[in-house]
Every structure is written in C-alpha cells, then in structure tokens.
Amino acid sequence: MDNAFGEPQNIVVLGGTSEIGLAIAHHLVSPVTRSIVLACRDLAKGEQAAAALRSDTVEVSVVAFDAADTASHERVIGDIVEAHGDLDVVVLAFGQLGNGEATGADVAEAAALAHVNFTGAISASVAVANRLRKQGHGTLVVLSSVAGERVRKANFVYGATKAGLDGFAQGLGDSLEGTGARVLVVRPGFVHSAMTKGMKAAPFATTPDKVADVTVRGLRRGSRTVWAPGILRFVFSALRHVPGPIWRKLPLG
C-alpha cells in the first residue's frame, strides 16, 4: 500500500516495454518499493528493461501479457496479485500508433488497432479496477493522448481509440469514487520515443521522462487528469472550438 508520501510498494506496468510506462516506474521507485511487474508480449525485451530497474531491494518480474487476448486479462491480473500482493499503482501503457493511411482505408488494420487500443484497454482496466475496488486502495494510471481531444484526419482511427479510452477512463474513475481506489488519466502530447521515431514533432513535444515526472506529481497530488506538458490543457481548450473548415486546414498532420 502507498505510504503517507504516496510511495507505492508494488507497481505493475501493462505494456511493460513502453518507454513512458518504464519511465513512470523508474520515477515511482522509492525506499518502500518492493516489487515491479512488467507485463508484456516481448518477454526478451521485457527482461532487458527489467535489468535496469532491479536492485538489492526491488524485485522486478516479467510476465506474459497480450492486450489483444482479452480472455486472459483477469487471469494475468489475478496471478500478479497472488505472486506479489495488493496492487498500489498499475500503469496501462500499451497501445499502437498505426499507420494513418492504412488504418483509414483497410478494414482489418482499423479493427486490429481498435481492438488493442480500445477493447484491450477497457478489458484490462476493468480487470484491474475490480481488484483495486476489492482491495480498497490503489491507482490505475491510464495513458491517454491529446490526440483524443479532437481527432485529426491524418490518423483518425488512432485518435478515435484515444478519445474513447479517455472517456472510458474518466467514467471508470467516477465509478470508483468512495472505494479508496482511483484512476489518473494522463494526456501527453507528441512524445519523442521509438514509436514516433522519424515523425515530424508537433509543437510542445516532450519526452518519456518528462511525462513520467508530470504523472508522478499528479499521483502524489491526487489528480484525476494531467497533461504533459501542462500548457496543452490551454492549447486544446482553444482548439476544441475551432470551426471545422479551419480545423481541417491546420497543419497538425
């Protein structure tokens, strides 16, 4: 359980090879941290990431997790609890960016992206929330995106999945009110990472480390939503109201 300073003993990263998810785990490690679980598809890559987190006092485990295999999510979460005890912070960090041209025209590509980013995320979140509710404490951190604030034509399937996930996460957080458990929604802008390598950076681009810093500060403040960087809250409050004909011409990709 988190101590008085909001420092968790047990941390789980769903999408355990995510650069942002790993950065958040790094920032959360404190003298009270006992275990970190990296749940991912690529176990070899997960083991490489685990090596950077392990210490004499922190046990880091890598377990198989497939966001698309929704039937396995409750079992995976149950196995983690059985092995490590209560969940203090669970970071939902998996997701695919997809190719906007392909997902906008290919039925199978669009469905596959939506299944992972939306259906898989909902399934995993409900499995985690059920456990947190039963515990009476713990936080689910959901990595959303500013792409869901107003969906851009360049990659509208991806943006739509983030819009749906963001709305779901807010509703899930409301449903946990009074249980001791909560949800923190993180809305990063463009993040320099392996997923965005080669892409033109958007204004106010950030890094996994900076997103992690914003996230951890939000966790300790008890925030419901954080933006990374914070200025994007004001940028998108204006962009939401830009008329459609103008929005479609903006050089936002």
- The three-state secondary structure class of 76 is helix
Structure tokens at 10: 């047990």
Active site residue 158: yes
Exposed / middle / buried, residue 203 (Cβ in 10 Å: 0-12, 13-18, 19+):
exposed
Q: For residue 83, what are its two tokens?
A: 């092995």
Dist CA 136 CA 195 (whole Å): 35
Taking each helix axis from N to C end, the angle separating 19-28 and 43-53, rounded to the nearest 10 degrees, works out to 30
Beta strand 225-228 with 59-64 is unpaired
Instruction: Output the CA torsion sign for 92, 6, 214, 187.
Output: positive
Q: Among the options 118, 158, 168, 190, which is catalytic? A: 158
95 neighbors 116 (Cβ within 8 angstroms): yes
The whole-angstrom separation of Cα 5 and Cα 237 is: 32
**Token pair belonging to 196:** 């965005």
Contacts of 108 (CB under 8 A, 6+ apart): none
Q: CA of 183: how far to CAs of 16, 44, 206, 225, in Å?
A: 19, 30, 23, 9
List the catalytic residues.
158
